[in-house]
Structure 1
Amino acid sequence: MKLLEGKTVLVTGASTGIGRAAAIGAAQHGADVVINYHSRDEDAQSCIAAIEAAGGRGLAVKGDVADAATATDFVARAVDAFGGVDVMISNAGICPFHAFLDMPTETVERTFRVNLHGAYYMVQAAARQMVAQGRGGAIVAVSSISALVGGEFQTHYTPTKAGVHSLMQSTAIALGKHGIRCNSVLPGTILTEINKEDLADDGKRRYMEARTPLGRLGQPEDMVGPIVFLASDMAAYVTGAALLVDGGMYVNLQ
């Protein structure tokens, strides 16, 4: 069953990691997919090739989500290419690990601009287009287990992910009357470019695996099913929800 047949899906931060997996997964479920990416040209084109190999049409649009103009351009390019916007997957994010007491101001500000401000601008631009179209839509934001728990070297990151989760709750209320559903997914430790260096430490990686009841860390592909579900009509009565996708890590307090 192709859950996104005939829909146009937009994905931010899709040249690698969760965004890339979600974009390809959307194409496998019948969607045309427009991806945003910041700088990795070859990876973006590889993602488009995979989208097309899955049977979808694809378009890559380069831009920095921290700039509000990127969001309006991204949505406009999607409309020009494929006629509208049905789903926005707001995924772009960074996490430059750093201690709290000497955290550089520019690191804090950049993380907030990309993770939270970028999500806000992208969700707003997509919602405006969906309202204008008059046929509803779905927005899925990639938050994090870090919205619920702290991290010693993530004091700049965890507030942004809590903010993304809160943004989905508030936009679910603001946009429900337009038939637009807004939900978030909260990944646990997923092996991506964000944590590649941090988890290069074998001891830390084994510790994180041991904390996970399913016994392994996540792969980007583990996020595809939950994201596609929330984006699809199977979740027609689901809005304002947050879905943990963490292998059970959050509940493992023992």
Structure 2
Amino acid sequence: MIITGAAQGLGLACAERFHADGANVVLVDVKADRGREHAQRLGERAVWLEADLSACTADMAASIIAAAADAFGGVDVLINNAGVIHLDDFVDFPEEAFDWVQRINLKAPFLLGQAAARAMIAQGRGGSIINMSSINAILAIPNSVAYAVSKGGIKQLTAVMAVGLIPHHIRVNAIGPGTILT
């Protein structure tokens, strides 16, 4: 199981829970010290991979999936959890901040989802991809335009992936939480 954004918050909570339930977990995040520490604390069924998803490319996504497959003999579950937010008034929202949020919150899940689906298809046993959306996919908050757009995109990306991957027995779902205390 690969979990992005796993060095803290909801991603870490997912990693801890699934690991406690017996899953092998690959924690992926840009925060190297925290991620490495958490993987070591979890033990032998946990692996740490450092990745800056703001610079995610198809090659990077394929490398992450391949490293996870090498560590545990395949990839059955991907949780696209990594996410960032930038708050600013709509008329003053910087283009660079908008692009940064889209790269991490929408482009990286697209590329990782593709790479994971390719691996799952090659393995021939199906799998599951879970995309972390947000209540902000449907709720408009004036100073979080980039975040809301990215999470609305995740909602639609998930629908397209789910329909497209049915023939390969790959289930794709989104979770759209509100505020979570982790």
Fold match, TM over 0.5?
yes
Note if contact 1:93-1:115 (Cα within 8 Å) is conserved in structure 2: yes
Say which structure is richer in helix: 2
Among 52, 55, 66, the residue aligned to 1:64: 52
Identical aligned pairs, as a percentage?
Answer: 37
Note if contact 1:65-1:122 (Cα within 8 Å) is conserved in structure 2: no
Runs (5+) with no aligned partner, structure 1 = 1-8, 191-218, 221-254
TM-score by length of 1: 0.69
After the TM superposition, which parts of structure 1 deviate over 6 Å for at least 4 consecutive aligned residues?
none
For the pair shown, which has the larger CA radius of gyration, 1 or 2? 1
Instruction: Map 1:31-180; keep pairs closer than 5 Å.
Output: 31-38=23-30, 40-52=31-43, 57-66=45-54, 67-68=56-57, 69-180=59-170
More deviation, 131-140/65-74: 65-74
State the distance in 2 between where 1:155 and 1:122 align. Answer: 24
Q: Give the 3-state SS of the residue equivalent to 2:49 in structure 1.
A: strand
**Amino acid corresponding to residue 155 of structure 1 in structure 2:** V
Note if contact 1:92-1:115 (Cα within 8 Å) is conserved in structure 2: yes
Q: Give CA-to-partner distance per residue, 1:29-63, whole Å, 9 cap, x none.
A: 1110011111x2221022213432xxx61111111
State the distance in 2 between where 1:75 and 1:51 align. Answer: 20
Aligned position for 2:11: 19
Q: Give the 3-state SS of the residue equivalent to 2:48 in structure 1.
A: strand
**Post-superposition offset of 1:80:** 1.2
**Amino acid corresponding to residue 7 of structure 2 in structure 1:** S
Aligned position for 1:238: none
Q: Give CA-to-partner distance per residue, 1:126-183, whole Å, 9 cap, x none.
A: 1110000000001111100000110111011101001111111111110011110000
**Post-superposition offset of 1:98:** 1.2
State the distance in 2 between where 1:174 and 1:29 align. Answer: 30
